Each structure stands twice: as structure tokens, then as C-alpha cells.
A and B are shown apart, each in its own frame.
Chain A
Amino acid sequence: MIWNEYYECMDREKMREVQGKRLCDTVDRVYHNVPFYRKKMQTMGLEPGDIKGIDDITKLPFTTKQDLRDNYPFGLFAVPKSEVVRVHASSGTTGKPTVVGYSRKDIYTFSEVVARSLNSSGATRNDIVQIAYGYGLFTGGLGLHYGAEKIGATVIPISGGNTQKQLQLMQDFGSTVIACTPSYALYLSEAMEEAGISPETLSLKAGIFGAEPWTEEMRQNIEQSLNIKAYDIYGLSEIIGPGVANECDYQCGLHIWEDHFVPETIDTDTLQPSKKGCIGELVFTTITKEALPLLRYRTRDLTRLDDTKCECGRTAVRMEKCTGRSDDMLIIRGVNVFPSQVESVLLEIGETKPHYLLIVDREGALDTLEIWVEVDDYYFSDEIGKLEGLSNRIKHAVESVLGISIKIKLVEPKTIQRSEGKAQRIIDKRKA
């Protein structure tokens, strides 16, 4: 199924024209409405008139997550607040979240790209879509919700967690499509096995999984254990949320809905476009968004692009499944985690040494995060109660910043390896 054949299968030259026109319009708007971009362009000696077509995109300045933080909360918005109908936010480094805003038209665009993603995953108006992404500040739940309603599917807005209820509704309502993180999909399959529910007795046929990177092995595992076809959905709240790109039946890369989001890949050292077909950091420019248009936003996700026509009939450029990051961000249970967030909490509490190690693992289907913290002589107490109190204080402070539950392990001084260069802060056993 193709939701919007006109754009999804557009001739590539024609697409470049559409993109060029929309890019010029976006640059003009941000130059006049967002002081941050005006200043940046002026420093570079750029005027909106210098951008004449899509090829000029490389002249534009980059935008980073730090820029969003520096302009917290609404500094990069390009419309008056009266035009903003919704905000979403993701957890931030120093307790300040990254805030994104949507105009009415942006919500329409969001629904449109999710509708394309759902159709591309085989979901139609005849389906019952169980949305097990979190509803709330996270873009996952509401994003999928609006797209699923747009295609006319029956939506079960169950949100995340509550596994027993997920299984019950899946059985009683006959859900045909499930949308959640891939790790939660695995968890559901385990819970089903425990409850003695055979996937063959369910109506599930497809899963739309995203918000965290997952491997081909995990796909096979999910497809077998749930007896469904598992599709990868890509997105990030800064660009719009889930539905920036999605796999089709052929599962040979994720089609980027590039009449809205123009992708580039860049070499992270030179910041120049990477060679055609080579891996680079994925960069997006939004060309239709009103409330929060972003120029060349650096996603830090590493991938490569393929603009050859897909067997499904779409011409929309495909990105390879993301496998790595160009920064130290971890995705744990769908939540973005930066080691620096843990560091700032430890420094704030100040009762341990600032050396720490994040150990990420997977128990069954769920990601776990254990943080090793070195005990400081000065605060070390001979009373277990006080030590437990310290580790609980750290646990609660870190959990409130990260938004996921963690385990704190107090370790002896000098346990954590020191290094003169970049400190080893992460051991990710999930990759093993």
C-alpha cells in the first residue's frame, strides 16, 4: 500500500525541484523569524537569496541539539506562540528537556508522514492498531495515534507498559498491528509464552518498531516469536517524531519522506557531504515545518543513503537501518541517555568521586542500566544505612533526570579504569 503515490513515487528530478522550492521558502522564513538563524547566516555572509535550489543546501549552517538547549524552551520557534498547537519534549542533559513545537499544519504533516509509514508497513483502514508507545511528552504515542486515525484504522491508545492488559486487549480486540519499541516487542513475546498464549491464535500481522536501534537478528527473533512482519520506523522529535522514514515490504532500507525532510550524510571530521553511498552522519533539513523548522540538523545517527528506485515502486530515497552514533548517546528502552547527564548528577550530589561507568545490558528483552560509582573517602561511612542512603539518593537523582529506572553499584576507588584520552564511560553488552 502506498498512501501518497504522488510524492512517494515522484520522479527524482521533479522531487529535487519540489525540495528546492520548499527549501528556499524555509530559509526565507527562518531568516526573518528566527534570530538564531539570521545571526548564523549573517556571520557566514549568507542571505536568503543565495539559496536558489536544493544543491545550495550545503551552504547552510548546521543545527545541533546543543542549539536547541541553548534556546530553551521556545527560542527557535519560527511562529508566534498563538500558532503553536502542541509541544513535545525529550529528556535533557541538565534536567532541561529538548522542546519541540507544532503548528496546526505541522500536526497535519506529522499525521501525513505517519500515515505513509503505516501504509508502507501494510497497515490500512481495515486494521486494528495497538499503540504501545508512551503517550505524553514523548512523540511516539500521539504521533502514531494521529497517523493511524488518518488512515482510518481502529486505534487502541493503550500507551506503554501494563503488559498483561496489552496481551488481554490483543486477544479480545483482535489487534492486527502493534507499535512499540523493538525491545518491548520482545518482552511481549516472552510474556505471551509465559502466559501460554500462542502467537498463532492472535490476529497480529505486523509490528512497527522504532525509537531505538535494533539489529537484523532482533528482527528475525521478533518476527518468529510473534509470527508477524517487523518494520523499522525512524524519527526524532527535533525533525517531527516517528515517521521521518519507514521500511516497506521489501525491508531494504527506510524510505525517507523527503518532500518534507531533506536528508544528507556528512563526514563527521570534515563536515563535508560524504561520498555517494558511503556511511556518514545523517543530517535533516525540514522544508515544510512551520513552528520549528530546522536547517541541517545533525542527528548523530550513522547511515548511508540509496536513491535507486525500490522494488515497491517508491522512488523516495532509502536510508540503511541505523547501526551507530557519532556521539556517545545511548538509547536505553527507547530513551536517549548521555553519559554527561549522569556526570552532572554526580557532581551535583558531590559525595562520590566523579568517576563512573555505565554498563548497559539486556536481561531477557529489556535493557538494563547499571551505573558504577566510586566511593569517596570523605563521604564513605562505616554505617551501611548511610551508604545505602547515598546510593539511593544517586539512584533517584539519576532516574529523575534520565526517566528510566537504573541500578547503582558503589565500587572501590580506582576500580574504574582511568585514561588519559577519552575516558571509557560505557560498556554496552547488548552489542556482544
Chain B
Amino acid sequence: MIITQLSVFLENRSGRLTEVTDIFSENQINISALSIAETADYGVLRMIVDKPEIAVRVLKKNDLSVHTTEVVAVITPDIPGALNKVIKYLSEEEINIAYMYGYSHENKASIIMKVNNPQKAVEILQNKKIELISASDFYEI
């Protein structure tokens, strides 16, 4: 239930993002989820892709700084209070969320979270019957 997320360091100037998407398209890598955190000078591109190991290799080959992080992905109904419930379960057990990103589509919302203890977060959420997305849903096996 733990998913590998890729983070890429990108300078904040035009053309940087296309370099990554070019590399992925050449190597037939599909992006399932993506978010960018930015500062004045640089950004961190966070992605879930279908072939994380290959992706890391090709990014490094192209001199990009890439880092892998374990994240947790949940599915909630697209209704008020659904996210609130998930976060409460985690905070009750003192799990901290560093950042999260998500979207909703067809009455369901998918949320990707970076927490300080992903293993424990998975257990808590499974006990509370929260639907989790497994790695195999993202990766090509």
C-alpha cells in the first residue's frame, strides 16, 4: 500500500518541465499524479509514475536531481467531510502530514499524502476501512 513517489529538483525557468516530460515520453513512462511545489528560485516536481525505477534511471542519466519518497494514496467519496475524517484518523495517532495533493473525479477523490510514518498510516487507515490505492494500481508490473 506504500507507493514510491519521484521528486525532481527543477530550477524555476522556462523549459525545465518539458525536459522531464520529454524524457518520459521518449521512454514511454506514464505519469499518474503530479504536483509542483515552488519557491522563487526553484521547484520540486513530485510524481507518481508507472515505471518508477526506469524513470529514476533515465532522469539521473539526464543529470537531473531525483529523489524517491514513500507516500500513501487514499480514495474517499467526493462529499463534504470525507477528507476531514481521514486526516482526523491520522492526527489522532500523531501522524504528521508533510504535504498532500489530489483530485476528484466521478464521485471519488484520490489523495496522495507524504506522512512521517507511512507504514503506520497505512495500518491506521486500513483499520478504519479507508480505501487505499495500492502500488499496483499505478505501476506497470
**Separation of A380 and B56 alpha carbons in the complex (Å):** 14
Q: Do residues A410 and B63 form an inter-chain contact, with CB atoms below 8 A?
A: no
Number of residues of chain A lying within 8 A (CB) of chain B: 18
Is A165's CB within 8 Å of the partner chain B?
no
A383 to B64, CA, bound (A): 17
The answer to whether A413 has its CB under 8 Å from any CB of chain B is yes
Alpha-carbon distance between A382 and B113 when the two chains are bound, in angstroms:
12
Residue in contact with A412 in the complex, picked from B9, B46, B98, B99, CB distance below 8 Å: B9
At the interface, yes or no: A388 with Cβ under 8 Å from chain B? Answer: yes
Identify which of residues 92-131 in chain B touch chain A, using a CB-to-CB cut-off of 8 Å. Answer: 98-99, 114
Task: Tell me, in angstroms, the Cα distance from A411 to B41 when the chains sit together.
Answer: 8
Residues of B within 8 A of A385 (CB): 98
Determine which of A381, A409, A413 lies in contact with B64 in the assembled complex, contact meaning CB atoms within 8 Å. Answer: A413
Q: Name B25-45 residues within 8 Å CB distance of A.
A: 37, 39, 41-42, 44
The residues of B that contact A375 with a CB separation of less than 8 Å are: 9, 65
- The distance in angstroms between the C-alpha atoms of A387 and B38, with both chains bound, is 11
Name the B residues within 8 Å of A415 (CB-CB).
Answer: 11
Shortest Cβ distance from B64 into A: residue: A412
Counting chain A CB atoms within 10 Å of each CB, which of B16, B42, B60, B63 scores highest? B42
Structural contact, A382 and B65, CB atoms closer than 8 A: no
* B65 close to A376 (CB less than 8 A): yes
Knowing A382-B69, A412-B9, A412-B10, say if A387 contacts B63 (CB, 8 Å): no
- A378 smallest CB distance to B (angstroms): 9
Set of chain A residues within 8 Å of B63, measured between Cβ atoms: 412-414
Point out residues on B near A: beta carbons under 8 Å: 5, 7, 9-11, 16, 37, 39, 41-42, 44, 46, 60, 63-67, 69, 98-99, 114
What distance in Å separates the Cβ of B34 from its nearest Cβ neighbour in chain A? 13
Distance from B15 Cβ to chain A, minimum over Cβ atoms (Å) = 12
A/B interface sample: 11 pairs, CB < 8 A = A375-B65, A377-B67, A380-B7, A380-B66, A380-B67, A382-B46, A383-B99, A383-B114, A384-B44, A409-B41, A412-B65
Shortest distance from the beta carbon of A404 to any chain B beta carbon, whole Å: 20
CB distance from B62 to the nearest CB of A (A): 10
Q: Which residues of B contact A412 (CB under 8 A)?
A: 9-11, 16, 63-65
Q: Which of A402-418 contact B (CB under 8 A)?
A: 409-415
Looking at chain B's contact residues, the main secondary structure is strand
20 more A-B contacts (CB under 8 A) besides A382-B5, A409-B41?
A: A377-B66, A380-B7, A380-B9, A381-B67, A382-B7, A382-B114, A383-B44, A383-B98, A383-B114, A387-B39, A387-B44, A409-B42, A410-B9, A410-B41, A411-B42, A412-B10, A412-B11, A412-B63, A412-B64, A414-B63
Output the nearest chain A residue to B45 by Cβ-Cβ distance: A382
Interface residues of A in 364-414 (CB under 8 A from B): 375-377, 380-385, 387-388, 409-414
Complex-state Cα separation, A387 to B5, whole angstroms: 17
Contacts of B46 in A (CB 8 A): 382
**Distance between Cα atoms of A376 and B11 in the complex (Å):** 14
Given the complex, which residues of B lie within 8 Å of A383, measured CB to CB? 44, 98-99, 114
Q: How far is A321 from B42 in the complex, measured between Cα atoms in Å?
A: 41
Minimum-distance CB pairs A-B, first 6: A382-B7, A414-B63, A380-B65, A382-B69, A375-B65, A380-B67
Which residue in chain B gives the minimum CB-CB distance to A412?
B11
Q: Which of B9, B69, B99 has the most CB of A within 10 A?
A: B9
| Chain A residue, CB-CB nearest to B71 | A382
Find the B residue at minimum CB distance from A410.
B42
Compute how far the CA of A144 lies from the CA of B123 in the bound complex, rounded to whole angstroms: 72
Taking a contact as CB atoms closer than 8 A, the residue among A382, A388, A413 that contacts B67 in the complex is: A382
Expressed in whole angstroms, the Cα–Cα distance for A377 and B62 within the complex equals 13
